[in-house]
Structure 1
Amino acid sequence: MAAILSRIVVVLFIIVVLVVLATSIRVVQQSKAYVIERLGAFQDVWGVGLHFKIPFLDRVRKVVSLKEQVADFPPQPVITKDNVTMQIDTVLYFQITDPKLYAYGVENPMNAIENLTATTLRNIIGELELDQSLTSRDVINARMRSILDEATDPWGIKVNRVELKNILPPKDIQNAMEKQMRAERERRESILQAEGQKQSQILVAEGEKESRILRADAEKQARIMAAEAEAEAILKVNQAMADSLKLLNEASPNDQVIKLKSLEAFQSAANGKATKIIIPSEIQGLAGLAAGVVETVKKPETGKAPVPPVTPPKA
């Protein structure tokens, strides 16, 4: 009976030892850190890997996440320099860089960060007027990040970014701002319409200008082509006359033919619109002779000799 009890005790002891050993072995995951205390005092910070904790002496004081974390704080009432009360909620992006300082630097770090953020925001907004607060978000974010990062450094926390999520001014100011924005949109719309009409008128004027230029070019080309055609016709007429004279000269005409050609040329000149014509003496003689012959043919025989026409003196 005693042997059986001793065996049971041994088995139980082995089981207890195994359980203790199993609970003393810890595997630290990526982006985690364990703060270890021994007999109530800080002992070590475990990083990624397998670690063994001395039973009954060591304990895990805090498990810290090393990832970047986001803290969305509720809206805080702030007063601007011109005594306007607004509600502003803030988003904080931070990361734990020193697990030991985070575990021992401050009690309840998140509550401390929230209070510090609200205080810093009130101080910064209190130096700005309403318009500056609404239009200077980047400046406010940068100042808050710098101040909070410096203040939380002893706590092992690094503040990466601070964003003003919403800025809610009083209702009457919101209504006034909406009216102002509506008026601004209407003004911009009017400007755009005026610009559109201006561009349309410019395009119409440019189109008319181009049309007139094209018509003028067409008329110019037509006149040039007409002048070229007329010049070509005159050239051909002169060429034909030159060829005729050349053929006539090659035929060696007598005086009668030359006089006859002179008479034809005079007839052509007389058919024109000239008011004064100078008649050569040779043509005058031919004209008188032709007139006398015509009169002789027209008059009946009277027994009298016909009176010859008076020949003008030679020029």
Structure 2
Amino acid sequence: MNLEQFITELLSGNLVVLALVALIVVAIFKGVKIVPQSEKYVVERLGRLQKVLGPGINFVVPFLDVVRHRISILERQLPSASQDAITADNVLVQVETSVFYRITEPEKTVYRIRDVDAAIATTVAGIVRSGIGRMELDEVQSNRQELIAQIKVQVEDAVDDWGIEVTRAEILDVNLDEATREAMLQQLNAERARRAQVTEAEGSKRAVELNADAELYSAEQAAKARRISADAEAYATEVVAAAIKTNGIEAAQYQVALKQVEALSLMGKGDGNQTILLPSSAIEAFGEAFNLLKGKS
């Protein structure tokens, strides 16, 4: 064997070894799959679903098993969508919604639905129209949270066969057409005017009631004063009557004389120099009062 033949045989053997090594490397590369934490891989064997690979290191049969779909399992948000709906009281509203979801079973999603976002958006639109159609406008505005919870439950039931979990559903806004908005504004202004009139009427009524209470209180106080004055006069009359009964006519004369003296005393206390003319009967009254006083002493 010459040198040329030996080199040829050696090279042929090395090529076979190199080919085997290369085949082993390729087999390892194809048989080992490292899946990121945020994804799942759908593996097919000869065109049929074989298994789903979770995050981490996974092993498949080289050259037979092929990764057909790499599915993100992160939460997704559908683009905000608006759809028209008619309430139970025949009011046209435009509802803006948003839905958050994530894929939990990729083998269902990739083989049962083609466009996930479009399918969910269509489902949400139908559920929103149906839910609002059973509610009046006031209920839509006041029971928004209840409507959101209802939409979420119904969407979850509808997309369950697609391997999807609806994490959140939101009603971002409920808009009215221009005619309905103007009618509601007029109704609101009318209600405000009515409340203002009611408040004013209640204020006037309260003022009348307070004025009547004040007049009643004043009348009660005047009546009480008159009653006290009458009681005092009655008491004085009783005292005088008792004195007359006990001391006779002298006691009455004594009281009259005292009243005359008190009146003259008040006249004498006036401003300036005053001359007081006394009738003879007054002098006699003074004398009688003096005699009575002497008799009392």
* Fold similarity call, TM over 0.5: yes
Q: 2:53 aligns with which of 29, 40, 46?
A: 46
Q: Give 1:133's match in structure 2, choosing from 134, 140, 148.
A: 140
Following TM superposition, by how much is the alpha carbon of 1:79 offset from its aligned partner in structure 2, in angstroms? 2.1
Give 2:34's aligned residue.
27
Gaps (5+ residues) in structure 1?
Answer: 195-274, 279-315
Number of the residue aligned with 1:299: none
Deviates more, 1:111-120 or 1:71-80: 71-80
Deviation at 1:83, TM superposition (A): 2.9
Does the Cα contact within 8 Å between 2:42 and 2:69 map onto a contact in 1?
yes
Corresponding position of 1:238? none
Cα offset, 1:15, TM superposition: 4.0
Q: Aligned residue for 2:165?
A: 158
Kept in 2, the 8 Å contact 1:70–1:93? The answer is yes
Q: Given that residues 43 and 52 in structure 2 are in contact (C-alpha distance below 8 angstroms), is that contact kept between their aligned partners in structure 1?
A: yes
Note if 1:86 corresponds to 2:101. no
1:59 and 2:55 correspond: no
Q: CA RMSD in A?
A: 3.6
Q: Partners of 1:150 and 1:11 in 2: how far apart?
A: 57
Asked if the contact 1:73–1:114 (Cα under 8 Å) also holds between the matched residues in 2, the reply is no
Q: Deviations over 1:101-145 (max 9, x none)?
A: 223333322222111111111111122222222222112111111
Runs in 1 of length 4+ with deviation above 3 angstroms?
Answer: 1-17, 175-188, 275-278
Which of structures 1 and 2 has the bigger CA Rg? Answer: 1
**Percent identity between the two aligned chains:** 33
Contact 1:105 1:156 in 2 (8 A): no
Counterpart contact for 1:24–1:53, Cα < 8 Å: yes
Cα distance, 1:277 vs structure 2: 9.3
8 Å CA contact retained: 2:91, 2:180: no
Q: Secondary structure at the match of 1:87?
A: strand
Shift of the 22–143 alpha-carbon distance from structure 1 to 2, 3 Å rule, reads same
The structure 2 residue matched to 1:95, chosen from 81, 102, 119, is 102
What's the counterpart of residue 118 of structure 2?
A: 111
Q: 1:179 to 1:20 in 2, by over 3 A?
A: farther
Aligned to 1:233: none
1:186 to partner: Cα distance: 9.0
1:175 alignment counterpart: 182
CA distance, structure 2, for counterparts of residue 179 and residue 15 of structure 1 = 83
Between the aligned partners of 2:17 and 2:182, the Cα distance in structure 1 is 82
TM-score (norm 2): 0.55
Q: In 2, Cα distance between the equivalents of 1:36 and 1:145?
A: 31
Aligned length: 202
SS of match in other structure, 1:61: strand
* Helix, strand or coil at the partner of 2:63: coil
Aligned pair 1:120/2:118, yes or no?
no
Question: Normalised by the size of structure 1, how large is the TM-score?
Answer: 0.52
- Counterpart residue type for residue 129 of structure 1: E
Task: Tell me if the contact between 2:76 and 2:101 (Cα under 8 Å) persists in the aligned partners.
Answer: yes
Say whether the 8 Å CA contact 2:27–2:63 is kept in structure 1. Answer: no
SS in 1 for 2:151: helix
- Equivalent residue runs for 1:220-299 within 5 Å: none
Unaligned runs of 5+ in 2: 1-6, 201-289
SS at match of 1:75: strand
Q: CA deviation at 1:19?
A: 4.2
Deviation at 1:40, TM superposition (A): 1.6
Letter of the aligned partner of 1:123 in structure 2? Answer: S
Alignment-derived partner of residue 84 in structure 2: 77
Separation of aligned partners in 2, 1:161 and 1:72: 13
What secondary structure sits across from 1:33 in the alignment? strand
